[in-house]
Amino acid sequence: MNKLSEGVSAIMGKKALQIWIVIVILMLPFSGKVKAKESPFELSGQAAILMEQSSGRVLYAENEHERLKIASITKIMTAILAIESGRLDEVVTISKRAEGTEGSSIYLVAGEKIPLRDLVYGLMLRSGNDAAMAIAEYVGGSVEGFVFMMNEKAEEIGMTNTRFYNPHGLDTHEDHLSSAYDMAKLTQYAMANETYRMIAGTKDYRAKGDHPRIFHNKNKLLTEKYRYSTGGKTGYTKLAKRTLVSTASKDGLDLIVVTLNDPNDWDDHMNLFNWGFKEYTLETLVSEGKLDVRTDDFYDGRLRASHTLVFPLTKEEKKIIQAKFTLLTPSHTEQWTDAQLQDPVGRMSFLLNNAAVASTALYFEKEEREPPPSFWKRIRQIFGHISGVTAND
């Protein structure tokens, strides 16, 4: 690491020490809002996005914030809410309303009993609209109650261009809309859940209940087309056209692709994945724990990062990433209390082209001192000193 400059500046009305360090090594990732690269090929869809999963960095985007119809990729939200309910092993009795749902179906029959878990598999693998309605009624108390939950979760995740009106994505309301970016954010959230990852990445599943069924996943990227595929969700309605969310992993890099109204979605997804895997590698920016960096005499060797930061970088970006330390001006007249040491003393930020892309809180490592010797240990030390014999504890 090469230290370029040091300075003191005011931060939010408080004095703070700022230290800038340029890092020219191959282990530096970041996250944040930086301009996505242009892909070297034409895409067929109306909107598209390529996102790195762990950081949420957008690697490629086209009309990613445009509000469009999304069809059955809506069911990603339905699935994660069912999973988070903690009721997957409970048994659901199918209603007449769920049985009569139009469109793609797992052919539920009113009155039959089936585990909620199996309904989620039928929802994700076979895109069962009847499964979506049965899940909504059971988890939400009613379809309307479940839709309220969907929109609350969307707000929590930060899906600012999304509004759900049903649990399946059928064109029942003209304002049932989302964006490629929002659906990527939803997928990023869902993929953090182990159960969701397992279900979305399942090729075939045998359901139990009153009417045993076998579900074969409709996602051809997962079942036959793309070796690095880890899951996703297909969608289609006459108004939305083809929509697709897919995930893939290679060499530790996890990617998400979303396309809306894309007649050539299988190929577009594979092309985006291949391009992303070629251009980017996932790097460790800073590891959780004690930092081995020079900042200022007071803080040298005494700073600890609160968590590990990783992020995808191109080869060119690795050469220009910068690290910046912003630290509270230390008190040289007072000892910090244990309570004060629970709070951050500063921040380590990373910049790319002057844009902050990631940061982690920094904490002060309290100096560990040996406890004072016990009374009898002091007596033995004195005796050893007088007699010339070293006390051995």
Query: CB of 115 within 8 A of CB of 89?
Result: yes
**The two structure tokens encoding residue 291:** 């930092």
Per residue in 111-166, pLDDT (tens digit) is 999 999 999 999 999 999 999 999 999 999 999 999 999 999 999 999 999 999 99
pLDDT of residue 244: 98
The answer to whether 84 and 199 are in contact (CB under 8 A) is no
For residues 316 and 117, what is the distance between their CA atoms, to the nearest angstrom?
46
User: For residues 377 and 17, which has the higher predicted lDDT (pLDDT)?
Assistant: 377
CB 101 within 8 A of CB 94: no
In the structure, what pLDDT confidence band is assigned to residue 323 with cuts at 50, 70 and 90? confident
Beta carbons of 164 and 187 less than 8 angstroms apart:
no
Amino acid at 87: R
Residue 338 scores a pLDDT above 50? yes
Q: Of 193-207, 280-294, 367-381, which gets the smallest average pLDDT?
A: 367-381
Class of residue 298 by CB neighbours under 10 A (exposed 0-12, middle 13-18, buried 19+): middle
Q: What is the pLDDT of residue 309?
A: 85
User: Rounded to 5, what percent of the chain is helix, strand, coil?
Assistant: 30, 30, 40
Strand, helix or coil for residue 276: helix
Average pLDDT score over residue span 158-181: 97
Least confident of 35-44, 200-209, 384-393: 384-393
Q: What mean pLDDT is predicted for residues 297-315?
A: 80
Q: 137 and 143 in contact (C-beta within 8 Å)?
A: yes
pLDDT value for 29: 38
pLDDT in tens, 224-246: 999 999 999 999 999 999 999 99
> Which pLDDT score is estimated for 285?
85
Mean local confidence (pLDDT), 194-221? 95
Q: Is 75 a catalytic residue?
A: yes
Is 127 catalytic? The answer is: yes
Is 218 annotated as belonging to a binding site?
Answer: no
Q: Which of 127, 179, 229, 359 is catalytic?
A: 127
pLDDT tier for residue 15 given thresholds of 50, 70 and 90: very low
Q: What is the pLDDT of residue 4?
A: 28
Residue 19 has pLDDT above 50, yes or no: no
pLDDT value, residue 337: 62
Structure tokens at 44: 């067929």
CA 244 remoteness from chain centre: 19
**Structural domains in the chain plus CATH codes:** 1-40+296-393 (no CATH), 47-263 (3.40.710.10)
Q: Residue 247's closest CA among 262, 234, 237, 232?
A: 232
pTM of the model: 0.81
pLDDT at 341: 64
State residue 364's pLDDT score.
80
Please, is 122 exposed, middle or buried when counting C-beta atoms within 10 Å of its C-beta (0-12, 13-18, 19+)? buried
Q: How confident is the model at residue 320 (pLDDT cuts 50, 70, 90)?
A: very high
Determine the pLDDT at residue 327: 78
Q: How far apart are the first and last CA of the chain?
A: 43
**CB within 8 A of 135, min separation 6: which ones?**
78, 81, 82, 92, 116, 119, 120, 123, 146, 167
Q: Choosing from 69, 75, 153, 185, which is the catalytic residue?
A: 75
Specify the higher pLDDT residue, 383 or 203: 203
Query: Is residue 354 predicted with pLDDT exceeding 70?
Result: yes
Between 67 and 292, the higher pLDDT residue? 67
- Token pair for 325: 């330390």
- Asked if 233 and 219 count as a contact pair (C-beta separation under 8 A), the reply is yes
For CA atoms 125, 130, 136, 139, give the dihedral sign. negative
pLDDT band at 31 (very low <50, low <70, confident <90, very high): very low
Please indicate whether residue 332 or residue 217 has the higher confidence score (pLDDT).
217
Please state which of the ranges 57-66, 83-92, 368-377 shows the lowest mean pLDDT.
368-377
Q: Which helix (H) or strand (E) holds 255?
A: strand 253-260
pLDDT tens digits for range 89-107:
999 999 999 999 999 999 9
**Residue 11 confidence (pLDDT):** 31
On average, the pLDDT of the chain sits at: 84
pLDDT, position 12: 33
